[in-house]
Structure 1
């Protein structure tokens, strides 16, 4: 009688020691192309933040160009940290790409108007230090920031920024001769239509470049309209690094620091959801320690951004989607993307070109981006339970409180400056309201129960599954 051969010990050993797809290094050519693809997908969203903030803070073109380069440089460094990791301290070690978060835009604009640019970057440094200190506790307390809270906040982020996009398109001075000029509105409308058509009638990678193509096409149309001025581009250097503390020694007003620390918590919520999603896509279950290291990298972005005149970074959802679409799981692809971002951040002339784009062009792209953020928030809220719970009221009150300073900017004018900074930020006020109301309705005795009688209501659910604490990967 024939015998079944025993399993090969060598083969079993090979399989057991095989690298996880996340840790595999692809051939150089593939690494380069896939890394570049990640940069192209996130580039527009990343540079939109300094463009919008610079315009709202009334900075000149050269200064906005400096912010763009600093933004790309910091995003590249943080992406490298996230992908490669630093010991047992920093980096989630997943194929994620970091970029400037829209969450910080409104608070930064308010702080710049009240205290100046030194306070903007001082409060960002403080928020970064705060992020480093609370990364581990936040990873353990992530259940207090469920889809109910994160979805509400993300929705308010998008809604609150649409007015900024409108200001770029129409102008901010209603008495100006060219305010809301029909030609400007037509240009912006054409760009929005172009982005829609690209997304509707193209497929794959090209469909993800709609916003970038819209910016390029809009700039070309704006040239014969006399809306462009690239005169400062020739004066910019090809290579260079922005000097630290460009606006002077940092300042730390208490209200500004509190506001930016709240922004950091919101950023943590965004990054947590995205890191968990990538963990599921790649088949690598994240422990709380993994999450904490990824969140700590967000904290580093605050410190580094504050010193280098950059911005707070979060894990970019666009690139999460790209991982799902391409099914490329190697974290070294993200590392290559980070290297490319660093190189772009060292080319001031490119930042100057982007900073010279006319307001209606940037505003049209920003309108689509901000409205998309709102839609993402609404989609996130689908993860919350609303039947037989108080969660609908949590969302309603939080959005109402958050939108008050948007529709009535001077509503807190009679209060001290620190109240105006905290309450006047739609994102800060909505976050505080959603967090506290979620605690009241879902984490106190006698809370309302769902139809299943579990009492969970998904208001107290976690953002996503995490594994028990485990030793971090080498």
Structure 2
């Protein structure tokens, strides 16, 4: 009797292809992941050695979380889909505020507490999956993709709009050249080579950037071959109530973002995520916060740009991102390898990133195509969610953090300062109001027996 072929999500690939495809996922997410420790470290005025420690720890924990998401551990954690985990930007403002008021020990103590909170809440939160229909998930994914274009533009043009070299023509030329290469490769190439079009474009962009003086390889020689800070590097964790509550809000925000990404990956791969799948994926986010608290790192979430990469390449194997997780672990343990990847100029990565971010928005549009818009208020739900939700994305500081609600209390900034969170809340609530709560004068209700 012939054994049935495994689902593409579970199917293995030749070692060479696995390595290249895993490397491609890592190259796409690397800059976004390390941006969090760089921003937090700079804002807290930490020295270069401490920031490097945060970067290594960040990659190490992201590697563990990605491996867990891809492979899974029993029925406890891991969605077993091609989901890449990386540090969430939602944590930036709360970490800076908590550190300035209570110190770094409170940052990591509250992170550990929020991780436990996440583990306990993962399954109940996943039970709400029916309240994330295509109307909600499509709107949310559209906003995720569009809002990420801001950080993508900052990678290309620069983060300081007042700098003399901001939006330098050479940076724009390199980034747009990378985009053109992706377009050409995707149109002309076939088979496996077409699937690694973004990686090929990134490699050629790096080669072009070298004679233009955009690369800085000095950090590679200075980096150590091996290094990982001891757990609780900054001291024993502390647990101020306000800090813990703030981080628990961050965990809820992370859950909302991860849910949309997990649902999207399930649809793209042809293996729709069940409540149990989502619960295991969210539990991994909670686990990453606990690990991050002990290992001087950050909470992780499913990275949207990698969702876009799965959509673009149609490579559905979860073993590809398992390789990505292994590579991230190596980079966390071998700083010299991480320094080499970090030498890739941001305009090169930005050229690839904007395509991946836009692909996430496309997934959202495809979800919205499944929505019935005639004779109901669904268009209104999308319009309000998009219009209000995207406001924070258009008022940011040089680091890309929203300042739209900067005069509001810190806890409210955590909720409303992220376009993703604000859109998720609006779409979720408006869908309930217009599609689940019937008015007393609703004709359908009056006609009911």
Q: What TM-score, normalized to structure 1?
A: 0.75
Measure how far apart 1:440 and its partner are.
0.6
Name the CA shift for 1:438/1:125 in 2 (closer, same or farther; >3 Å): farther
Counterpart of 1:174 in structure 2 is 161
Name the CA shift for 1:124/1:179 in 2 (closer, same or farther; >3 Å): same
Instruction: Please say if 1:268 is aligned against 2:294.
Output: no
Counterpart of 2:6 in structure 1 is 21
Name the CA shift for 1:64/1:202 in 2 (closer, same or farther; >3 Å): farther
Map of 1:207-286 to 2, 5 A cutoff?
207-245=194-232, 252=243, 254-275=245-266, 278=269, 280-281=270-271
SS at match of 1:100: strand
SS at match of 1:363: helix
Measure how far apart 1:430 and its partner are.
1.1
Name the CA shift for 1:52/1:159 in 2 (closer, same or farther; >3 Å): farther
Counterpart of 1:398 in structure 2 is 385
Aligned counterpart for 2:93 among listed residues 90, 106, 110: 110
Counterpart of 1:367 in structure 2 is 354
Aligned counterpart for 1:162 among listed residues 141, 149, 170: 149
CA contact (8 A) 2:23 2:327 kept: no
Measure how far apart 1:202 and its partner are.
1.5
Counterpart of 2:300 in structure 1 is 312
CA contact (8 A) 1:301 1:312 kept: yes
Counterpart of 2:33 in structure 1 is 50
CA–CA distance in structure 1, aligned partners of residues 210 and 313 of structure 2: 36
Query: Could you report, residue by residue, the CA deviation over 1:146-177 in whole angstroms, capped at 9, with x for unpaired residues?
Result: 12111211211222222222222222333322
CA–CA distance in structure 1, aligned partners of residues 133 and 245 of structure 2: 28
SS at match of 1:224: coil
Query: Could you report, residue by residue, the CA deviation over 1:42-85 in whole angstroms, capped at 9, with x for unpaired residues?
Result: 22232132244456557488777655644543344234434544
Who wins on radius of gyration, i.e. which is larger?
1
CA contact (8 A) 1:65 1:355 kept: no
Measure how far apart 1:336 and its partner are.
5.7
Measure how far apart 1:111 and its partner are.
3.5
CA–CA distance in structure 2, aligned partners of residues 24 and 384 of structure 1: 27
SS at match of 2:85: strand
Aligned counterpart for 2:117 among listed residues 130, 135, 141: 130
Query: Could you report, residue by residue, the CA deviation over 1:333-375 in whole angstroms, capped at 9, with x for unpaired residues?
Result: 7656644543344322111122233332233233222222222
Counterpart of 2:400 in structure 1 is none
Measure how far apart 1:196 and its partner are.
2.0
SS at match of 1:301: helix
Counterpart of 2:85 in structure 1 is 99
Measure how far apart 1:234 and its partner are.
0.9
Name the CA shift for 1:335/1:370 in 2 (closer, same or farther; >3 Å): closer
Structure 2: state its 5+ residue gaps: 397-402
Measure how far apart 1:33 and its partner are.
3.8
CA–CA distance in structure 2, aligned partners of residues 185 and 447 of structure 1: 57
Structure 1: state its 5+ residue gaps: 1-10, 455-474
Q: What TM-score, normalized to structure 2?
A: 0.79
Counterpart of 2:399 in structure 1 is none
Map of 1:420-431 to 2, 5 A cutoff?
420-431=413-424
Measure how far apart 1:215 and its partner are.
2.8
CA–CA distance in structure 1, aligned partners of residues 140 and 390 of structure 2: 11
